[in-house]
Structure 1
């Protein structure tokens, strides 16, 4: 599904790693971990096509159509002053979908209930808590049904209920055969929920089983 060959990324003239090669199979669930500034978020942006790699090749085996890839950014990149309601944020997941208005309405209602957002539909973006906004962004992914999901710190701002909902959905999406790449700083959650980890270091990348790879590394290298 995702194949990187001699890939380097980062600011122009400032690659974050030497050329790296790795492959994430179709239907895999992989965490991306590393120190702050190691390039985790930048790698997701490269995969999403939002940032060009400095060198090398990136090959994505996904359908060439709208909705084949969904990217969850960090909240800090969103304009909380934009005049849009929670329901409109979630409904953006229908983009490129040709379902009937009746089916869309039913699915939207079900997804809002599933993420415990019922009753907040008309609340404006600026009035949402960080956890409510994060659940809304994740609910949007539930509607998108993309085969490739790129999640940049999806656990951020979530309380205990939000965390339970997040991991329940990640496992459900994985069971559906989707490919997920998840930037996550919660190493205990990675060990518990995500089978494989891509560790990014200044010397390169290491891909392996989460229980082994994280356990072998000092906490300061992957937090």
Structure 2
């Protein structure tokens, strides 16, 4: 029996390592509609290898929509999204899976896969290499502190444990562009810090990391750049120390905010003003 031509195609190979500062994803005059509502309009943004870019802003500002558009999971109503220099629509799904890995807000699985099996799903885009797969899976589980319950069924985990396993799957995928939607939302303080340190480590190793955050303190501490979204547009884009101003943040969040320097380290601290 002759196999269909599509089954005879070789799997695509991973891209070569990115150069420091190389643009791995970009939105140019991007507009995105969800139903009848225009969620993003005229967004210009670049994501570069070697940096952590935090997307911050109030609820409904378009952070998750922008992340999904950069991942080529949402179509553009106008403008263009480029991944590794090419319009996203020109990549096949297998090619995209080798270039970007996506962590959604919710990690849901209906079947009782074990933790290790879920993490191993991240290796699906790669040509079969059992030894390399084993190393990647073990390293990803160790980095996210889930190795101790590798044999447990995923549905039996707590919300925070599921979030860490889902992140381990993304890391095992070994794509140079990581797109993480609120990876710290279900985590305690220790694991929030661990995840953001991991983001910095991946950027230091040459990856580009985009992370949606609600905690402005975490964004100020760990992001190389922040893009502040407001009403579907980018209100500011730059290093946290430059764009986190009391005036802008108070305007964007419609709540008084204070920005301070840490008394010992000088690091930028962001807090809501409270009358207690």
Aligned to 1:18: 41
CA contact (8 A) 1:86 1:120 kept: yes
1:84 maps to 2:113: yes
2-structure distance, mates of 1:170, 1:72: 13
Within the candidate set 17, 33, 49, 2:56 is matched to 33
CA contact (8 A) 1:32 1:199 kept: yes
Within the candidate set 230, 235, 241, 1:211 is matched to 241
Q: Say which SS state the counterpart of residue 18 (structure 1) adopts.
A: strand
2-structure distance, mates of 1:193, 1:164: 9
Q: Say which SS state the counterpart of residue 19 (structure 1) adopts.
A: strand
1:221 maps to 2:252: yes
Aligned to 1:193: 222
Q: Say which SS state the counterpart of residue 30 (structure 2) adopts.
A: strand
Aligned to 1:177: 206
CA contact (8 A) 1:90 1:137 kept: yes
How much does 1:133 deviate?
Answer: 0.8
Task: List aligned pairs for 1:3-152, cutoff 5 A.
Answer: 3-61=26-84, 65=95, 66-75=97-106, 78-98=107-127, 100-152=129-181
2-structure distance, mates of 1:95, 1:135: 19
2-structure distance, mates of 1:118, 1:54: 42
The higher-RCO structure (CA 8 Å, 6+ apart) is 1
Q: Deviations over 1:16-71 (max 9, x none)?
A: 24322233333332110111011111111111111111211112226852421100
How much does 1:112 deviate?
Answer: 2.2
CA contact (8 A) 2:52 2:222 kept: no
Q: Deviations over 1:99-131 (max 9, x none)?
A: 532343344234323322123122112210111
Q: TM-score, normalised by structure 2?
A: 0.73
2-structure distance, mates of 1:99, 1:70: 18
1-structure distance, mates of 2:239, 2:104: 25
2-structure distance, mates of 1:30, 1:100: 32
5+ long unaligned stretches in structure 1: none
Cα pair distance change 1:22/1:103, threshold 3 Å: closer
- The structure with the larger Rg is 2
CA contact (8 A) 2:33 2:39 kept: yes
How much does 1:220 deviate?
Answer: 7.1
Report the number of matched residues.
221
